[in-house]
Structure 1
Amino acid sequence: MVDVSIIVGGGILGLLSAQLLANEGRKVLLLEASATGTEASWAGGGIVSPLYPWRYSPAITALAHWSQDYYPSLGKTLLQQSGVDPEVHETGLYWLDLEDEDQALAWAHRHGRPLHPVDMEQVHTAVPSLGDGFSSAVYMPGVANVRNPRLLQALRAALAKLPNVTIIEHCPVSGFINDGARVVGVQTAQGEMRAEQVVVAAGAWSGRLLAKLGLELPVKPMKGQMILFKCAEDFLPSMVLAKRRYAIPRRDGHILVGSTLEDVGFDKTPTEDALESLRETAIELLPGLADATVVKHWAGLRPASPEGIPYIGPVPGHEGLWLNCGHFRNGLVLAPASCQLLTDLMLDRSPCIDPEPYAPAGRL
C-alpha cells in the first residue's frame, strides 16, 4: 500500500510540497478552496530575497540562502516538465538610502553575500530611469525575481502529468477527522477524505483551520497591494528598493511596484488610497512612470507569523498532522527550502537544514 498524503492549500507551498512528496513515491491529494495559485503566491512581487535580509533572524536566512541557490535549477526543470517558463530573471538589486547600511554590510560580510556600496553616479549609469532624489546605494548582484503567476502555472502543469497526484479545486476543508489522538483525514465540501498524513499549507487561512482542533496558530492575514505598469523592455535593468517600496522589472517590460502592509483581516479589496500612494512611490523612484498607464492593481493576503518564521513540521499531540505555513512576506523566497525540509521530515530522513527553529512544538 502506498501512503496517501493530503495537502490543504494550492499555493506555492502546497504545490511544491505535492511535487516533492510525489517524486518520492507518495500518493498526494491536494485540496484547494478556490483555484490553485490564486492567493498570496500569485499576488506577491516574486523577489527571490527577503526585502531586507539582514533584518531577519538566522532561521529566515538559512531557508532563504538554500532556496536562492535552488531557484535557477527549479526554473529550468519546471520549463522542461511543463513547457511554461517561470522566468527566473537575475537582475541584481539596489537598496537606496538605507538607514542601517552598516548592519547590512556587516551581515553580508558574515554570510559571504556579495553586497557592496555603489557610488550614485554609477547607479544612474546602470539604471538611467532612476529618480534624482537619492544619496546612497548598496547593490547585490545575482538577486533574481521570478514571475510568480507563471511559476504557479508551471508547477500546476507539472503536477497534472504525475499519475500519483490528484488536485481537487473549489473544495474547502471544514475540519479534521480524528481517530483518538491521530488525524486521519479531513472533512470537505465534497465529503470525508482520508490519508496517512495531512499537511496544512493554507497560508493566511491556516490559523482558522487549526482552531478546529482547539489549537491557536498565530498566523493571520496582512493585506498587501501592488500595481503593474508596462514600459519598454529596457526601461528598468535592475530591481530597486527605497523606503520599503520596490520596483521589479519583468523581461517583457512589465514593472511591478509594491507594496502596502495593512492589518484589515480577510479584506482583499484594492483601494484608491493605496493606488495613489503606490503611484507616487513609483514616480519618485522612476519618474518615467508618470507617463505610463497602470495596467493592473490588486491585493493579496500574506500569512503573517511572529518574526515571519514559518511553521514546518509535525503538530505535537495530533499524530499525522503537519504544517508548512506562516511564511509572511517570504513565501516564494523560502518555498524550495521549506518544502524540502517538510519532505525530509515526513520521510524521516536527514533534513536539508536544522528543523528546530520552525518546529510547531512549543510555538502553538
Structure 2
Amino acid sequence: MNLLTNQDILIIGGGVIGLSIARKLHQKGLRKITIVERGNLGQESSFAAAGILAAQAETDKIDDFFHFCIESNLLYPPFAEELIDETGIDIELDKNGTLFLALTEDDEAEIRRRFQWQKKAGLRIEYLSAAEVRKVEPFISPDVRAALFFPDDRQVENRRLLAALQKYAVINKINVVEDAEVKSLLVENKKVIGAETSDVKFFAEKTVLATGAWTSHIKIGENALPPLRVVKPIRGQMLSFKTAKRLFSKVIYSPRGYIVPRQDGRILAGATVEDVGFDKSVTAGGIDFVRENALEIAPSLMNLEVSEKWSGLRPYAPDGLPILGEFPQMENLFIATAHYRNGILLAPLTAEILACKIAENKDSKYLEIFSPRRFQK
C-alpha cells in the first residue's frame, strides 16, 4: 500500500467543481493540494454538458436556488478573463443571450406567465413577437408564435473551460492522480484524515468530496452515510450537428429541448433526462428524441448529419438542489455535489464559498441552505 502524506487538501473528484475548488484554494494560499479522479480529469458530466448558463430560462420561481444561480452567472465574465490571463485559454464565454420559443398555444401561455412574474420581479427579460424572433434568428421554425429573450443568460464552451482549469492545475503544481477510484474515507476519532483507493492511502488536513454522480460510492468503513446515499445519476444524452458557418447567434430553448450554437459551427442539441443508474449508453431512442426536439426548434437542421453523440451522468439529490458545505458529525470533511443540470453554471460560486469556508472559515448563507444536514436522519 502506497502512502501520500502531508497534504493540506484532498479533493476527490476532478470535474468542473473539483477543479474550480482546487484553483480557488490555491489562490487563497494553500499549496499542498491533491485531486484524485476515478477516471480522467473532466471527462464525465462536465465534459458531456452543453455549457449553458441559463439562470433565468430554466427557472420557474424566485427562491434561494435561483439567487444562487444568478450570483454564479454574474461571476463568469471575470472568471473567463482571469482564466485567459492565467492559462492563455479562451473559454468562449458567449454573451449573446438566450431565447425561449413558444411553438404551440400552450407554450405561448407558459411564456406569458413566465414573462409576467420575471418582469414583476425586476429581472431583465423581453417578450418578442414571431416577426421579431425571426428577424433575430432567421433559421428557426416558421411555427414560432413568440419568444422570451433573456439577455443575461449566456453559454460557455465547457470543454475549453475544463482544459483551462486543468492547465491551471499543471502550471501551479496542483497534484493530480487519475485512474484512482476512492472507495472509502480514512477516519480517526470522527475526523476524516484522508481516503484510500485499492493501492494508495492519501492523508490530508481536510478532504472535499466533489464526486458528482458517484458520490454514493464513497463509504466510511463499510457504510455510505445518508447525505452520500441520496445522490443518484441521471443520464442525459446529447448530439451535435456540424455546419460550415454559425447559423444561430443565441442559445435557443423550447419547452422540450434546446440547441446551442458554438463558435466553430457545431450546434449542440439536448437532452434526455433518464433515471437508468450508471448506464452511460447512447441509445437510438434517446438520440431520436433529442433530434426531433432540435428539428422542432429549427427544421433547417433536417439535412445535417449528426456529427457526434454522447451521454453524461448528472448528480441529482432528491430535492433537486446542490449539497454543499461541512459534513455533519464528521470533522475536516466537506462536500460539493448534486449540482444536477447546473454544474457548469454553479462552479464559480461553489468554488468561492467552499474555498472561503475551508481556507478562511468564512460562512455563506448558501452553505446553510444547501447543507448536507438536510439529509441527516
TM score, norm. by length of structure 2? 0.91
Within-5 A mapping of 1:145-294: 145-163=155-173, 165-210=174-219, 212-217=222-227, 218-294=230-306
Q: Distance in 2 between matches of 1:318 and 1:67?
A: 28
Q: 1:341·1:353 contact (CA, 8 Å) conserved in 2?
A: no
Question: What residue in structure 2 maps to residue 71 of structure 1?
Answer: 76
Q: Distance in 2 between matches of 1:179 and 1:2?
A: 16
Within-5 A mapping of 1:131-146: 131-146=141-156
Give the direction of change, closer, same or farther, for the CA distance of 1:166–1:20 in structure 2 (3 Å limit): same
Question: What residue in structure 2 maps to residue 297 of structure 1?
Answer: 309
**Gaps spanning 5+ residues in structure 1: where?**
none
| Counterpart code for 1:70 | L
Question: What residue in structure 1 maps to residue 354 of structure 2?
Answer: 342
| Counterpart code for 1:25 | G
Q: Distance in 2 between matches of 1:245 and 1:281?
A: 5
Question: What residue in structure 2 maps to residue 323 of structure 1?
Answer: 335
Post-superposition offset of 1:244: 2.8
Q: Distance in 1 between matches of 2:290 and 2:56?
A: 17
Asked if 1:61 corresponds to 2:59, the answer is: no
Give the direction of change, closer, same or farther, for the CA distance of 1:51–1:208 in structure 2 (3 Å limit): farther
- Aligned sequence identity (%): 30
TM score, norm. by length of structure 1? 0.94
Q: 2:56·2:150 contact (CA, 8 Å) conserved in 1?
A: no
Post-superposition offset of 1:2: 8.2
Q: Distance in 1 between matches of 2:6 and 2:310?
A: 42
Helix, strand or coil at the partner of 2:59: helix
Question: What residue in structure 2 maps to residue 88 of structure 1?
Answer: 93
Deviations 1:285-317 (A, max 9, x none): 111211111110000000011332111111111
Aligned residues, how many?
363
Deviations 1:2-29 (A, max 9, x none): 8611000000000000001111122211
Question: What residue in structure 2 maps to residue 105 of structure 1?
Answer: 115
**Gaps spanning 5+ residues in structure 2: where?**
none
Question: What residue in structure 2 maps to residue 4 of structure 1?
Answer: 8
Moved beyond 6 Å, runs of 4+: none
Helix, strand or coil at the partner of 1:121: helix
Post-superposition offset of 1:237: 1.2
